[in-house]
Amino acid sequence: MTSVMPLQTHEHALDVLRPAMQFMERGEQVALAIVTGTEGGGVRAPGAMMAVSESGHSAGYVSGGCIDADVRLNAQEALQDGVMRQIRYGAGSPFADIHLPCGGAIDLIILPIRSHAELMSLATPLEARRPATLSVSGNGALGAPSGSALFQTVFVPKIALRIAGRGADCLALARIADAAGMEVHLQLPDEGDYAAACATEFARVDRLQTPSHLPEPDDDAWTAFVLMFHDSHWEVPLLRQAVAGPAFYIGAVGSRKTQLRRQEALRAEGLCETSIRRIRGPIGLVPSMRDASMLAISTLSEIIGCFQSAREAERV
C-alpha cells in the first residue's frame, strides 16, 4: 500500500526526517531522495528531500508532481539492493517517457539509509534550532568529509515567528504562518485570544501579564518578530527586547504616523538609531491592508522576502 503524506506539511528538511525516523522505528527500511541539481525551471531547490519506506509510504516531494511517483518506485528498488542511485529526469535523461513540462532537468540521489542514527545526526541539530550539514560520500554514506563529498548542503532551522499582540490581526497571522510550516510563538495579554490560540496547535503560546514582566524571548537568527499591539505601553518594552536579540526581521503594525511616534518613544528610552532602524513599519509587502487575513498575507510575504535576502547574502 502506498501512502503519501500531505505535501504542505513536509517541505522543510525536519518535516521529512521526522516521518523517515518513524518509518524506521516501526521496522521499515527507508531511502532519501535528494535533489542535487536543477536546470531550467525546477520546482524544488537542491537539498529538497523525499523519504520513502520499503512499503511505499512517503513524506516530502521533489517536483511539482511530474516525477514523484517514479522517484518513489526507484527508491523502493534501491532499498531492495541497498545501492545508491544517481538519477536524472528531463533534458539528457534516459527516461524518455517522463517529460518535465518546464523543459528543464532534475538530478537526484536516491540514498538507502543505513541506520536510524544517520537520520538523527541531521534531525538533532535542527530540533535544537542549529544548522545541519547533509554530506553524501561516493559510496552512499552520510557524513562524508566536505572535500570528498559527492553532494553537500546545509539545512537551516525553520522560520520561527514570534507575534505579540491582541485581536484578529495576530491570530490570522499565526494561522497562516502555521499553515506555511513556520514555528509560531504567540504572546497574548487577553484571555479570549489566549484561549483561542491554545485551542490550536501552535508551537508556543504565552500569556502576557504586564509590560514590566515579559517572558524571556528565545529569538535566534531564523526568528521574525511582529508587534501587533495598538497599545503604546506594550510597544516600547517589547521592541526593546526584540532589538536586543538576533531576529532577522522586526516589524510593528500601524501607519507611518504611528511609526514616527513609535520611533520618538524609543529614542526617549535611549535606543540607538541603528536599533530603531531595524524596526519595520508600516509592515507588509502590500500597503494599507485593512482585513486581518490580507494583512497577514502581506506581512508574511515581507518576512519571507527578508529571509530569502538574508540567505542569499550568506552565500555571497
pLDDT at 8 over 50: no
Res 65: pLDDT: 80
* Per-residue cell: 102: 518546464
What is the count of structural domains for the chain?
A: 2
pTM for this entry: 0.90
Same domain, 150 and 194: no
Closest CA to 228 of 205, 212, 255, 252: 252
CA distance 223 to 59: 25
Domain end, chosen from 122, 155, 188, is at 155
Same domain, 190 and 103: no
Q: Distance between CA 183 and CA 172 in Å, rounded?
A: 15
- Asked if the model's pLDDT at residue 3 lies above 70, the reply is no
**Together in a domain, 175 and 278:** yes
Bridge partners, residue 90, by sequence: 105
For residue 148, tell me if it sits in a domain. yes
> In the predicted model, is pLDDT for residue 311 greater than 90?
no
Which pLDDT score is estimated for 228? 97
pLDDT, residue 48, reads: 95
Q: Note down the domain range covering 303.
A: 160-315
Domain contains 266: yes
Does 174 have pLDDT greater than 90? yes
Partner residues linked to 38 by β-bridges: 106
Residue 201 shares a structural domain with residue 74? no
> Is 100 part of a structural domain of the chain?
yes
Q: What percent of the chain has pLDDT over 70?
A: 92
Amino acid 149: pLDDT: 87
Instruction: Identify the CATH number of the domain in which residue 261 sits.
Output: 3.40.50.720
pLDDT tens profile 35-72? 999 887 777 899 999 999 999 999 999 988 888 999 99
What confidence score (pLDDT) does residue 7 get? Answer: 46
Is 1 among the domain residues? no
For 291-299, what is the mean pLDDT? 96
Q: Is 2 contained in some domain? A: no
Picking from 155, 185, 214, the residue at the C-terminal end of a domain is 155
Average pLDDT over residues 132-143: 89
Q: How confident is the model at residue 107 (pLDDT cuts 50, 70, 90)?
A: very high
Do 175 and 234 lie in a common domain?
yes
Burial class (CB in 10 A: 0-12, 13-18, 19+), 157: buried
Facing residues of 58 across strands?
A: 4, 52
Whether residue 296 sits in one domain with residue 224: yes
pLDDT tens digits, 268-283: 999 999 999 999 999 9
Q: What is the pLDDT of residue 97?
A: 57
Contact criterion met (CB below 8 Å) for 122 and 132: yes
CA of 188: how far to CAs of 77, 90, 130, 211, in Å?
Answer: 51, 50, 27, 11
